[in-house]
Structure 1
Amino acid sequence: MENTSFYPDYYNESDTCCSVPPCTSKSIQAFDRVFLPVLYSLLFPLGLCGNCMVMAVLLQCKRPLAGTDVFILNLALADVLLVVTLPFWAVQAVHGWVFSTGTCKLVGSIFKINFYSSIFFLVCISFDRYLSIVHAVHMYKRNKSHLMVATCLVVWGVCILLTMPDFLYLEVKKDYRLNTTLCSHNFSINTSLYWKMALRICYHLLGFFLPLAAMLYCYTCIIHTLLRSQGFHKHKAMRVILTVVVVFFLCWTPYHLALLANTLIDLQVVGRDCGKEASLDITMSVTASLGYFHCCLNPLLYAFIGIKFRNKFLELLGHVGCVSREFLHRHGQTPSQRKDSTWSETTEASYSGI
């Protein structure tokens, strides 16, 4: 991902070598030194705890997981691994990259793999709902576990392939203009701009525009089906679905617009202006962090707004002795009241015979 943490071109280190002197990057460096550690120190525990709770609730289920639940489990795992890398970028913002080249390759690749996989599993969830609600086709039933495993393996495999340039070219480099060491791509001078643009186009298309188009198509069809069905639970599911799409759009669109503006500057479509570029650098830093915050929202969107998840979470707390049996009876359903369908409120409509 073209993120604010380890890519040298973020600091406008020109690799096109033109007659215009490169802009200074002291303002964004000073901003990131304060902003990123504070924000990442908040996102790290929120994303880690929230997604780990989702995984714990899913894994404590004695029955095989349904299709959407498997995707949510993988989504939570991807978000956990992504937020685990944030402390490394927070340290780099303050002290430069103080770790080894191997750590740079590993952390950078893990970040990129799980960035892509979190988005791709959102698409898998959308497609599963689309099939089950619009076409009444349940591809990922519990008795078709091989399909779920195959789909997840394909997603992880594609993400690993998309990350190969990062694993090959990420290195620890000394930036003499900033007087700091960065974990960044080390392309040759002749191919630097080519690789930079290729990675950005891949990131824009596969990391945002195509997944967003797929989700919008699936949910548009789902909403149309739910509106025709005239059912309370269906309309409740529709509100959840709308929230999912809107939050994804709000979290990632600002960053992609800022990155697109930065790309136009690099391609010299837009003229160089150091004052505007400094503001754009700060905008990219803020909007990228908003995108990372989406990892913390996923547990809320896919789990905590679901009644069944809350019941199972309370049941898990009861098993470990955190809440009493009386509390469970007051605030959660008893085992006899729970249905055998999936715990996720957002998938409830999928298995209700729509």
Structure 2
Amino acid sequence: MELCTVSPDEEVDLELLRTRMKPLVESHPSVAYIYIVLMSGALIVGTGGNFLILTVIGAMRNLQRTGKVFIINMALADLCVAAVADPMCVLAVIKGEGWFDDKRWLCEGVASMCLTACFCAFLSLSLASFNRYVFICHHNIYDKIFTTKSCICLCISAWVGAFFFEVPNFFGWGGHYFDAKSHQCIWDRTASLSYTMFVSLVLIFSPLFLMLICYILIFRHIYVIKLNLHQFQDKDTDPKRMRKTWLETLRTSRMLLGIFVVFLVCWTPYAIVIIFDFYKKLSTEMHLFVTMLAHFHSSANCIVYTITNRNFRTGVMRRFGCGSCGRASLSSESDTKSTEIAKISASRLTNVASSGSNRSNDSTD
């Protein structure tokens, strides 16, 4: 009778298999199925939606001066997440960690690409916000700052900078691995607390803070312009007139507000969890939820554009051959309003001021 012997290498392999977690579909099937359905929907919407952003906004002729190139750059980054990273998340939930044992290069490559694309989306969104702020609030210097060459250089710099911020994961300040909590190939948030804080505070909350400041200043500027125009046309300060001015300001700023709210909702929970759960005490469900919510951001911008931009909706319908949609001008409604506000912000207010000074001079005489 022959005895079965096991070599040391085989013992190591068996021990490794015993320590491997089961795929999520086996350990938590109900959670896994919900995750698969939601993430599959996100990757379909994100892939198709960002492709539509590239084709429809790329065809809009009047958007160059209001940062079309930054929107396209952000759509490219979101497309990388939706079309590549999201399918790998679904595959990881089904296959589990063991499937990547002989594919470490794939796991590290997907994790690196996903984080780089997310960083690039953050930087592109910050550039788009600052671009819109300068265009509306400082229209007279816009052409000096945002030339075609400078915008292209800024977009390239966003990709270079994003990869620069991701590279430390290859050299010990961070890392790439299969996260047993979120069940996906991702950057190692537990490798270095300093790098985790850098990602959360500098690369997530800083763009959020910059967007908030820019949009508050834009919103205030639009409100003041509309209020002065109404007062110039009608000196009556009826509360109904003030309410009308407020509603008009909201309608003009709705796309900016939508983009900001989506970023806030999708990334704030993740930025908080990666810092306060550095030692992995929260449940698997919590980590699955916050990472999935962060991935949803790459699929949400196209929804914001569709809801808040009438001409973008028309452009999408035309792409699908809807002949009853009418001929779209392919210029953004909100961008057109922003252009009008930027142009009248100097001329109309100057007229208001000069008219007011003339009246005061007349009364003095």
- 1:122 is matched with which residue? 125
Identity, in percent, stands at 23
Q: Secondary structure at the match of 1:219?
A: helix
How far off its partner does 1:214 sit? 0.4
Q: Provide the rounded CA distance (Å) in 1 between the counterparts of 2:146 and 2:289.
A: 45
How far off its partner does 1:344 sit? 2.9
- 2:137 is matched with which residue? 134
How far off its partner does 1:184 sit? 6.1
Q: Is 2:346 the partner of 1:343?
A: no
CA contact (8 A) 2:63 2:331 kept: no
1:283–1:222 distance in 2 versus 1, CA, 3 Å: same
Which structure is higher in helix share? Answer: 2
Q: Provide the rounded CA distance (Å) in 2 between the counterparts of 1:311 and 1:182.
A: 38
Equivalence map 1:120-269=2 (5 Å): 120-137=123-140, 139=142, 144-167=147-170, 183=185, 195-230=191-226, 234-263=249-278, 265=279
> Which structure exhibits the higher relative contact order, with contacts defined as CA atoms closer than 8 Å and separated by 6 or more residues?
1
1:162–1:137 distance in 2 versus 1, CA, 3 Å: farther
Q: Provide the rounded CA distance (Å) in 2 between the counterparts of 1:77 and 1:182.
A: 22
1:138–1:344 distance in 2 versus 1, CA, 3 Å: farther
1:226–1:91 distance in 2 versus 1, CA, 3 Å: same
Instruction: With the length of structure 1 as denominator, give the TM-score of the two structures.
Output: 0.71
Q: Secondary structure at the match of 1:343?
A: coil
Deviations 1:80-136 (A, max 9, x none): 101121111221222224352222222111101111111211111110111111122
How far off its partner does 1:30 sit? 2.6
How far off its partner does 1:48 sit? 0.6
How far off its partner does 1:196 sit? 2.1
Q: Is 2:325 the partner of 1:328?
A: yes
- 1:302 is matched with which residue? 305
1:218 maps to a residue whose letter is C
2:312 maps to a residue whose letter is F
Q: Secondary structure at the match of 2:192?
A: helix
1:102–1:316 distance in 2 versus 1, CA, 3 Å: same
1:183–1:119 distance in 2 versus 1, CA, 3 Å: closer
CA contact (8 A) 2:56 2:312 kept: yes
Q: Is 2:92 the partner of 1:92?
A: yes
1:347 maps to a residue whose letter is D
Instruction: With the length of structure 2 as denominator, give the TM-score of the two structures.
Output: 0.69
Q: Secondary structure at the match of 1:163?
A: helix
**Alignment gaps of 5+ in structure 1:** 1-23, 187-191, 267-276
Q: Provide the rounded CA distance (Å) in 2 between the counterparts of 1:64 and 1:182.
A: 38
CA contact (8 A) 2:133 2:214 kept: yes
1:82 maps to a residue whose letter is V
Q: Provide the rounded CA distance (Å) in 1 between the counterparts of 2:292 and 2:43.
A: 12
**Alignment gaps of 5+ in structure 2:** 1-19, 230-244, 346-365
Q: Provide the rounded CA distance (Å) in 1 between the counterparts of 2:146 and 2:293.
A: 39
How far off its partner does 1:142 sit? 12
Deviations 1:261-288 (A, max 9, x none): 203x57xxxxxxxxxx353x42222122
2:215 maps to a residue whose letter is Y
Alpha-carbon RMSD across the aligned residues, in angstroms, is 3.3
CA contact (8 A) 1:75 1:118 kept: yes
1:259–1:343 distance in 2 versus 1, CA, 3 Å: same
CA contact (8 A) 2:86 2:295 kept: no
1:284–1:138 distance in 2 versus 1, CA, 3 Å: farther
- 1:271 is matched with which residue? none
Q: Is 2:64 the partner of 1:76?
A: no
Aligned residues: 293
1:106–1:350 distance in 2 versus 1, CA, 3 Å: same
Q: Provide the rounded CA distance (Å) in 2 between the counterparts of 1:110 and 1:167.
A: 12
1:25–1:140 distance in 2 versus 1, CA, 3 Å: farther
CA contact (8 A) 1:82 1:111 kept: yes
How far off its partner does 1:163 sit? 1.5
Deviations 1:279-298 (A, max 9, x none): 3x422221221222122210
- 2:352 is matched with which residue? none
How far off its partner does 1:46 sit? 0.9
